[in-house]
Structure 1
Amino acid sequence: MGVGGFAYAQAPNTDTLKLTLPQTEDRFLKNNLSLIIQRYQVDQAQAGVITARLFDNPEFSIANVLYNPETKKVFDMSHDGGEYSAQLSQLFLTAGKRNKNIKLAQISAQQAQYQFYDLMRTLRFTLHTDFYKIYFLEQSAKVYQQEISSLSTTLNAFKEQYQKGNIALKEVLRIQSQLYSLQSEQNDLRDEIEDTQAEFKLLLRAPANSYVEPQTDFNLDGKNPVADMPYQRLLDSAYNNRADLKVAHSAVDYSNINLQLQKAMAVPDVSVQLAYDKQGSYIRNYNSAGLAFSLPFFNRNQGAIKQAKIAIDESKAQLQSQQDQVESDVAGSYKSALRLENLYNGFDPKFKDDFNHLITEVMKNYQKHNISLLEFLDFYDSYKTNTLQFNTLQLNRINSLEQLNYVTGTPIFKQ
């Protein structure tokens, strides 16, 4: 079943954007502010790796006598009475703390990338569903417009006949009531289209006064992409490609490395020192070298180590929860898509054309007075209801495929 563009109502000074799905995706990837913001967070996390690789700077200090009461000089630097000292120290991390911090920074950067891909997965799903929703809502809007136009013509003709005394007022009112009902439903549909348009344009950063017209051509008649796809392949794809699951895996890795780091923090770091004192020590021009480190008698980082162990158990539980969620998502989406596929393929491909032909014949027979007004309106209402249901079924089927792409993290089903 090939489908193309559609007609739509729009406000004055509205720019029309005719976009195919690939064009929509390209614009989305370039312009979406949520993705741009998340990219900055990835860059920040990567910059954290650079910081973790840096060594501590050496420290240098110098001191000079402020006032020498014997020589009565300020900042006395003379050979006999002056006094000044200097010290240079460098901290050296022990127990592999630097390498462990680098690994933690690398995992954090990796998590930021996974979060970016997961955000993209979520926004892309919304983008695709909005794209097809706008298209099929417009198809439904055309049905309302056709019926309203037809009933408006009929109403005008009935009013003329009523003025001539050929028909009763109740027949005019019955048509008028049906027309008002259709116009009210059409207005609700237009509100839904505008709400979806607003969300869709925000994803693309399209101008607020623009109107996006999806251009699509797909054919799902008689096809069974879901039934032909092994369920295990979908589940394996989700395990391998779901970015949120990768975040959960990396959280376990982060917790394990963090425990190693916290244990290493119990090992004292060493500071190497070089010092010079002109005459403040027991000998003139005193030079010295030394080491400084804490004695781990009381604080051996016990609390942080315990917290790190608990964090490992927590991250493993979160990982198992995420895996369960993935399995549930895939199973539920697969069953739903399979039901919609069977339902859609159970429809006669000629149904829509036959129904369109039928409503044309109904109009002719009514004009020839072969059927009553109530029968005519009943056929019209059935035509509207069935056409809207068929549009909804097509939309739901496409969305079910998009849902499978979403829960597996892979564009398996391409429209």
Structure 2
Amino acid sequence: MKKCLTLLFITLSSGNAFCQQLLNIEQCEALFLQNNLDLIANKFSIENAKAFEIQSKIWDLPVASLDLNFINPQDKRVFDTGNRGQKGVAIEQLLYLGGKKKSEIDFAKSTISIAESEFEIILRNLKFELHLNFYTLLFNQLKAKNIEAKINNLDQLIGAYKIQSQKGNVPLKDLVRLQSMSINFKSDLASITSEILNQQEILKILTNTDLSINPEADEEKMLDELEQKVMPSEEYLAKQLLQNNPEFAMMNGIIKSNERFLDWQKKIDIPDLTAGLSYDQRGGAFGNQINMNFSMPLKLWSSNKGNIKIAEYEIEKSRVEKEKTELVLTSKLSSAYSDLKNQLAYYKSSISDKQDLELLYDGIFQNFQKSNISLIEFADFMESYHESSLYLIEIKKRLILSKETINYLVNDSIF
């Protein structure tokens, strides 16, 4: 088992050493904005909305008609269209009345802002995913480094114990206990290494690059700045959220668009006028007469009543959905704000614990090497220290992710 785990780490380390790039979060964002395929694809949704506006400005084409004689029974001729025959030409154009075309254009324009908000939501969600994976990868690599240091120290002890066990100076069970501890640490390292590879794969997809990304960040400086920063009030953050959050902005855009759609549907209920000119050679009251033609539907009932009702209900529905969106977003912000304060308190209390723990670890390890403490005491401490040291790194990660969640909800770099 030990050999298998060791081989796994050698394979992962050698395979991961090639095609890697060290990037900070700003460089990752630049690659993401330039290369991300989801962003590139969804930009076309905005272009689609703009094309819809272009289409809304186009009028119906005029209709031309030609009337030719086919059979002249009186003179027994076919296609009698000469000077003494019959032919007619007409052209008609549909004219929109009641501001119908303007309402259609206004509605089409309103869909552009919705498409832009949808794109902003996708951008924001993917950027948040990028930040989460970047910082999770950063702290997972710190965990891996922490475990590797323990494994190296243990392996040195195991090497010395093997020699002494062969000489009969220490019991075999003590050697096996140390080897078992090393295997457990390597198992934890294997799990974290798997997470690291998964996060690097996600970053590859988000940045659309073939290179594995290793995060570059001064986490201690980030944590110190966050610790010293004056915490804004929850009320201030809630106000910023309603101003900046694209989900809330999209709901406002949907309501506005639905109102314009209702206005358009009401205008559609107004009959339109069809106007035209026609020429008739001999079929009318006069020879070679030119006529004007007008036609309009008789508004005996509302021909668009159902669509008007649908538009009214859509407005009410979107207003309720806006209230729900505001409630959900402010509730998420409240939870995230409380979580950030808690994580900050945990981090502040852990600073001195980390220093004490490192000093204690060095002392225990040296005393065990000098045989001043028993193997049982050493093993119990190592297991406790292993969990505590990883938990201290986890506290840092949670604090960074908490502030990223606030930035995500408010859609601004508050922290």
Q: TM-score, normalised by structure 2?
A: 0.91
For residues 11-410 of structure 1, the aligned pairs below 5 Å read 11=15, 14-66=18-70, 75-81=79-85, 83-207=86-210, 210-217=211-218, 218-221=221-224, 223-224=226-227, 228-349=231-352, 351-410=353-412
Structure 1 residues 363 and 346, CA, compared in 2 at 3 Å: closer, same or farther? closer
Q: Does the CA contact (< 8 Å) of 2:35 and 2:207 recur in 1?
A: yes
1:280 partner amino acid: G
1:277 partner amino acid: D
In 2: Cα distance, 1:12 partner to 1:220 partner: 28
SS in structure 1 of the partner of residue 379 of structure 2: helix
Structure 1 residues 72 and 142, CA, compared in 2 at 3 Å: closer, same or farther? farther
Structure 1 residues 60 and 363, CA, compared in 2 at 3 Å: closer, same or farther? same
In 2: Cα distance, 1:344 partner to 1:279 partner: 98
Structure 1 residues 226 and 326, CA, compared in 2 at 3 Å: closer, same or farther? farther
In 1: Cα distance, 2:115 partner to 2:222 partner: 38
**Could you list the runs of 5+ residues in structure 2 that have no partner in the other structure?**
1-11
Q: Does the CA contact (< 8 Å) of 1:226 and 1:334 recur in 2?
A: no
Structure 1 residues 367 and 361, CA, compared in 2 at 3 Å: closer, same or farther? same
In 2: Cα distance, 1:66 partner to 1:199 partner: 73
1:44 partner amino acid: N
In 2: Cα distance, 1:30 partner to 1:298 partner: 55
Q: Does the CA contact (< 8 Å) of 2:107 and 2:264 recur in 1?
A: no
**Could you list the runs of 5+ residues in structure 1 that have no partner in the other structure?**
1-7
In 2: Cα distance, 1:75 partner to 1:20 partner: 82
In 1: Cα distance, 2:179 partner to 2:93 partner: 91
Q: Which moved more, 1:107-116 or 1:256-265?
A: 256-265
Alpha-carbon displacement from aligned partner over 1:8-38 (angstroms, at most 9, x marks no partner): 9351673111111111111111111111111
SS in structure 1 of the partner of residue 275 of structure 2: strand
Higher helix share: 2
SS in structure 2 of the partner of residue 346 of structure 1: helix
Alpha-carbon distance, 1:371 to partner:
0.8
Alpha-carbon distance, 1:44 to partner:
1.2
How many residues were matched structurally? 402
In 2: Cα distance, 1:126 partner to 1:363 partner: 40
Q: Does the CA contact (< 8 Å) of 2:248 and 2:325 recur in 1?
A: yes
Alpha-carbon distance, 1:335 to partner:
0.8
Alpha-carbon displacement from aligned partner over 1:125-147 (angstroms, at most 9, x marks no partner): 11111111001000000111112
SS in structure 2 of the partner of residue 297 of structure 1: coil
Q: Which moved more, 1:72-81 or 1:31-40?
A: 72-81
